[in-house]
Amino acid sequence: MVVFPLWRRFAMSQELNILNLCESCAAALRHAMDSDFPKELHRSLQQRLFLLETALDEFKQNHIDFEEICNHLIDAIYVSDKNGKTIYVNQAYLDFSGLKKEDFVGKSVYEINQEKKLYTNGVIPAVLNTKERKEAVGTVISSNQKIFITGIPIFDGRGELKYAVAHDKDIDQLEKLKDALALLKSQQA
């Protein structure tokens, strides 16, 4: 069985964790079938292995790797669970902060926010407390870069808070967009 370091397990998407678990189970079934099992049990294991491998193949064909997609966005994404434990930061967030995934993932957003080593005016604690969308202007401490932060609650099927997501946008990029929009409007007039 493949065992990932703790930080790696937090960083992987749930789908990949399930995929790795299923592949480990399939490997264990194949290994078990190589030993001396009664014929009835061997046949049952073969059937279950076939079903598992079929489901795995279908999953791989239809899987959308949202983690990979988020890592290619230019905006920073930060995700915590309902208790404030950081479960994901995308590559843009790492680029903004100048830190590594291990500096965030698995750590409490309350502790990270209190330390003020990363940024000012983080919105995740407010989203977790109010369960409402929040917006703020903050500063990335390492670069003194101004960012516009939007915090969004995500609820499960029962209406319970599941995640809090922060989306950070570089204010310089917003200013460039504003200038480009003004230029476009002046050209159309």
Confidence band for 79, pLDDT divided at 50, 70 and 90:
very high
More confident position, 4 or 85:
85
Kindly report which listed range (15-29, 41-55, 109-123) carries the lowest average pLDDT score.
15-29
Quick one: CA torsion of 165, 110, 169, 157, rounded to 10 degrees?
A: 10
Percent of the chain's residues with pLDDT above 70: 84
pLDDT at 10: 41
For 100-149, the pLDDT digits (tens) are 888 888 889 888 877 766 777 789 999 999 999 999 998 888 778 888 99
Which range among 6-15, 86-95, 146-155, 162-171 shows the weakest confidence by mean pLDDT?
6-15
Q: Which long-range contacts link 134-139 to residues 24+ away (Cβ below 8 Å)?
A: 137/171, 138/168
Residue 100 CB contacts under 8 Å (≥ 6 apart), including other chains = 94
What burial letters (b/e) apply to 101-120, b meaning 16+ CB within 10 Å? bebbbebebbebbeeeebbe
pLDDT given for residue 131 in this prediction: 96
- Compute the mean pLDDT over every residue in the chain, rounded to the nearest whole number: 81
Q: Which residue has the higher pLDDT, 11 or 68?
A: 68
pTM beyond 0.75: the answer is no
Instruction: Detail the DSSP E strand segments found in 49-130.
Output: 76-81, 86-89
Q: What is the Cα–Cα distance from 100 to 117, expressed in whole angstroms?
A: 13
Give residue 11's pLDDT.
40
Which range scores top for mean pLDDT: 50-59, 91-100, 151-160? 151-160
Q: In terms of pLDDT, which residue wins out, 85 or 51?
A: 85
Give the list of residues 6+ apart from residue 2 with CB closer than 8 angstroms, or none: 20, 24
Q: What is the pLDDT of residue 66?
A: 80
Is residue 156 scored above 80 in pLDDT? yes
Contact residues for 39 (Cβ-Cβ < 8 A; gap 6+): none
**What mean pLDDT do residues 11-22 have?**
64
**Which is it for the CA torsion 7, 19, 89, 132, positive or negative?**
negative
